[in-house]
Amino acid sequence: MAWTKYQFILAAMMLITGSINTLSAKWADMFSAPGCYGSPNHAFSHPFVQAVGMFLGELSCLVVFHILLCHDRRKPEPTMDPGQSFNPLLFLPPALCDMLGTSIMYVALNMTSASSFQMLRGAVIIFTGLLSVAFLGRRLQPSQWIGILVTILGLVVVGLADFVSGHGDDSHKLSEVITGDLLIIMAQIIVAVQMVLEEKFVYKHNVHPLKAVGTEGFFGFVILTLLLIPMFYIHVGSFADNPRQVLEDALDAFCQIGHKPLILLALLGNTVSIAFFNFAGISVTKEISATTRMVLDSLRTLVIWVMSLLLGWEVFHGLQILGFIILLVGTALYNGLHKPLMAKLPCFPGEQRAEEGEAPERERLLGAGKAANES
């Protein structure tokens, strides 16, 4: 069935805004400007401020939800299902996971390249699969276990590419890049916990996806904004890249933005893009399929890698593209993208039918919330 014009627009919006989200965050990290207290020119390294901006983008999804709902209710025959009422505190545990995972990933993005950052986020399917077996009682199919093993191989190749090249970009040491890679993988464990919590406690309540993302964004925005206050006084030594060597110096971030307004443009690009990306991703799942959403998310990684090369942020390395291909195959196997091809073989229909019952649950698990956002 051919796509409609609206479906093409949604797919393009998801691909473009998803790519802008990572690229704009990395762009902000590459700026240098004077800060407060008469401090000299230094790198813009404020991952927690960036995370607050991302949660603001998620929070805007809640605004979009209510706008769409009000518009729909003015119609003679409303068609939008607002979902059932629920206790908003259900979203607090997954929001805390989202906040922690996103913050760690923004710290890691300061240490490694945008393409490696995006590729290594594919590790989420490993931990999501294992946790879904342990806590959701799900039985993974052989193709999914193979997908997990292939993904592990892909992660090793991407990490090896960073090790052999000696850097993720021109401004980072090898030790920083390896640390950043490990932090990204560690963050995926937290993201996987978030997905399992959402699956077990939240989505059984038939919550509208935009409302779900927006509610998590609200908790993340409020809590992390308040945490910026104690972070301003917590000294962490050389671990921090700000002049005061505290966990997060929000005032220094605003001073740097004042000296170099282009930083604000990068931060706004991150905030606005995450809002459109979530809306487009949810709409693609609804209007086309969750499988299409997964394919577009994989293409996003390719776009980010190509753009990073064109912008001169990193150099080409053959191992990295090999790692990307292996990760793509692992993701495809885990999400059953091979089944339409295998279904044509005489020996496959039995396994195909066995997997059909679990496919919608798996697609909802990986398609809910931020795509590999997130944040």
The confidence score (pLDDT) of residue 12 equals 93
Q: For 43-95, what is each residue's pLDDT tens digit? A: 999 999 999 999 999 999 999 899 989 988 888 888 888 877 888 898 899 99
> Closest Cα to residue 220, out of 364, 106, 110, 117?
106
Q: For 294-331, what is each residue's pLDDT tens digit? A: 778 888 988 999 999 999 888 888 888 899 999 989 98
CA distance 95 to 113: 26
Q: Is the pTM of this model over 0.85?
A: no
CA distance 124 to 188: 5
CA distance 101 to 236: 19
The contacts of residue 290 (CB under 8 Å, 6+ apart) are 363, 364, 366, 367
CA distance 273 to 287: 20
Q: Tell me how far CA of residue 337 lies from CA of 281, 294, 316, in angstroms.
A: 18, 9, 28
Q: Are 336 and 292 a contacting pair, CB within 8 Å?
A: no
> Closest Cα to residue 304, out of 314, 289, 317, 293?
314
Q: Along the 375 residues of the chain, how does pLDDT read in single tens digits?
A: 578 888 899 899 999 999 999 999 999 999 999 988 788 899 999 999 999 999 999 999 999 899 989 988 888 888 888 877 888 898 899 999 999 999 999 999 988 888 889 899 989 989 989 998 998 888 889 999 999 999 999 999 988 888 877 544 455 677 788 889 999 999 999 999 988 888 887 767 778 888 888 999 999 999 999 999 999 999 988 788 888 899 999 999 999 999 999 999 999 999 999 999 988 887 887 787 767 877 788 889 889 999 999 998 888 888 888 999 999 899 888 887 777 666 666 665 544 444 444 444 444 444 444 444 444
CA distance 85 to 77: 21
The confidence score (pLDDT) of residue 368 equals 41
Locus of tokens 């933005």: 257
Residues in the chain: 375
Q: Are 290 and 364 a contacting pair, CB within 8 Å?
A: yes
Residues 64-80: b if buried by 16+ CB within 10 A, e if exposed: bbeeebeeeeeeeeeee
What are the φ/ψ torsions at residue 32 (nearest 5 degrees)? -130, 140
Q: Are 200 and 132 a contacting pair, CB within 8 Å?
A: no
CA distance 203 to 64: 20
CA distance 180 to 285: 31
Assigned token pair, 272:
């606005």
